[in-house]
């Protein structure tokens, strides 16, 4: 089954404690991205990657890091989380070609609370 898997689904942490949210896709997609969703603000892109070892900033990259060492994985790293990073996070992957070009497949989300 084609899917994007995020872990953990829920996370409560404290300010300054480094954390990583993992994302994995099994569709051999070149493109992956991270979004945060906040009430009234829709989906805002944090970072994206168009292929292995190629990453770029989205609209709200401050306070986040990513890496793309393998095609299937795209972890989101918060080196020193702060309360304003409390949000719902989504990972997505997309094919860059073929009939499914531009269609984004989303994970189930990670709800993060930073105290």
Measured from the CB atom, the residue of 58 and 63 that comes closer to another protein is 58
SS3 of residue 99 by DSSP:
coil
Count CA within 13 A, CB hemisphere, residue 82. Answer: 4
Shorter beta-carbon distance to another protein: residue 103 or 115 = 103
Per CB under 8 A, 114 contacts another protein: no
Pattern 7-46, binding to another protein, x per CB under 8 A? ---------------------------------xxxxxx-
Residue 32: its H or E element: strand 31-38
All residues at 6 or more sequence positions from 50 whose CB lies less than 8 Å from its CB, including other chains: 30, 31, 56, 96
Which residues would be at the binding site for another protein (CB under 8 A)?
A: 4, 40-45, 48, 56, 58, 90, 92, 102-104, 106-109
């Amino acid at each position: 089954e084609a899917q994007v898997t995020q872990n953990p689904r829920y996370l409560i942490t404290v300010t300054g404690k480094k954390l990583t949210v993992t994302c994995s896709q099994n569709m051999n997609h070149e493109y992956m991205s991270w979004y945060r969703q906040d009430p009234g603000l829709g989906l805002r892109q944090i970072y994206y990657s168009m292929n292995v070892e190629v990453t770029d900033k989205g609209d709200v990259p401050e306070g986040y890091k990513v890496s793309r060492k393998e095609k299937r994985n795209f972890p989101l790293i918060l080196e020193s989380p702060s309360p304003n990073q409390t949000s719902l996070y989504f990972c997505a992957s997309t094919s860059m070609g073929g009939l499914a070009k531009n269609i984004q497949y989303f994970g189930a989300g990670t709800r993060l609370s930073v105290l």
